[in-house]
Amino acid sequence: MTAASTLDSIQKMPLSKGITAGLRKAMEEDSKVVLIGEDIGKLGGVFRVTEGIQKDFGEQRVIDAPLAESGIVGTAIGMAIRGYRPVVEIQFDAFVFPAYDQIVTQLAKLHARTRGKLNVPVVIRIPYGGGIGSPEHHSESPETVFAHHAGLKIMTPSNANDAYWMIQEAIKSPDPVIFFEPKRQYWLRGDVDLENPATTAYSAQIARPGKDCTLVAYGPLVPQALDAAAAAAEEGVDLEVIDLRGLNPIDFPVIEESVKKTGRLVVAHEAPVFLGLGSEIAARISERCFYHLEAPVLRVGAPHAPYPGSKLEQHYLPDLDRILDAVDRAMDF
């Protein structure tokens, strides 16, 4: 929030409704913004993020699509080439894979393939992560799969204010954006400044300053990272928490500056540790901050195994204890 904010411009709302408000604002400002997805019109989507928007903007701009993700994304690509700004909703994270070919072989590459002649401003909204009692295909974290492909920007908010501003930034981007929404945080309420934009979506933010160890998280695990910092403070350890926000590109300078101060780094995410985003961060920081590190870069995440049934997900997902254990190990060096 900035000093120019007024009480009238600040509203408290859940993260999901921050996205709703951001979509509405984008549609009001640009008639070329079109929403398309399964059950997003009359139903308002599985998580009711688009609730009421079709009633206000009509069926031509909020389109209920067949259950065919590949066809939805392919249609969105064609609409973008013709000048529209389609926003696709994928109902659940792993439902995106029928559209994987369209995303990585067409959407991600058309700008380069045409030597810059075509821009394809498609936003693909994907609720992701666990913690809501759902099984595989409804609780997965596929962000690294898409971050590996050049040509796709990737962002993920962790709070309502970021959700409101980041979805608008995604829609205005000339490039395709994968917008990962942490579904377990959909109901997390926070202040949204409707007048003063947050910093650019690809700038990592210091969510909590500290001096002893840097803890990097994004999306679903940012609240837990802040809880870990509060718990560590009771033991005399001052954690600096960084909310990554942008997953491609990653704001490495903010992480580097923090690690040069603290000398230690723990990266936490819901996705499996094996080849997760933490692997890239660990490698880059080890290269760039080698002489500043007082301990190895440690990673916290899920095991390299299929997502379990809902009764077992608490054993699969990284929790407060696993984050604090990694912090303890880093501090013991």
Please give the positions annotated as active site.
138
Burial class (CB in 10 A: 0-12, 13-18, 19+), 58: exposed
Pairing of strands 246-248, 153-155: antiparallel
Pairing of strands 33-37, 85-89: parallel
Q: Backbone phi, then psi, for 276, in 5-degree steps?
A: -75, 175
Instruction: Say how far residue 186 (Cα) sits from the centre of its chain.
Output: 12
Tokens 């080698």 sit on residue = 290
CA dist 116 and 24 (Å) reads 30
Q: Count CA within 13 A, CB hemisphere, residue 38.
A: 15
User: Does the bond joining 209 to the residue before it have cis omega, within 30 degrees of 0?
Assistant: no
Query: Which ranges in 115-195 belong to alpha helices (H)?
Result: 143-147, 160-172
CA dist 321 and 333 (Å) reads 19
**Is residue 218 a contact partner of residue 268, using CB atoms and an 8 Å limit?**
no
Q: Which two tokens stand for residue 201?
A: 């979506």
Q: Count CA within 13 A, CB hemisphere, residue 212.
A: 15
CA dist 90 and 99 (Å) reads 10
Pairing of strands 10-14, 189-193: antiparallel
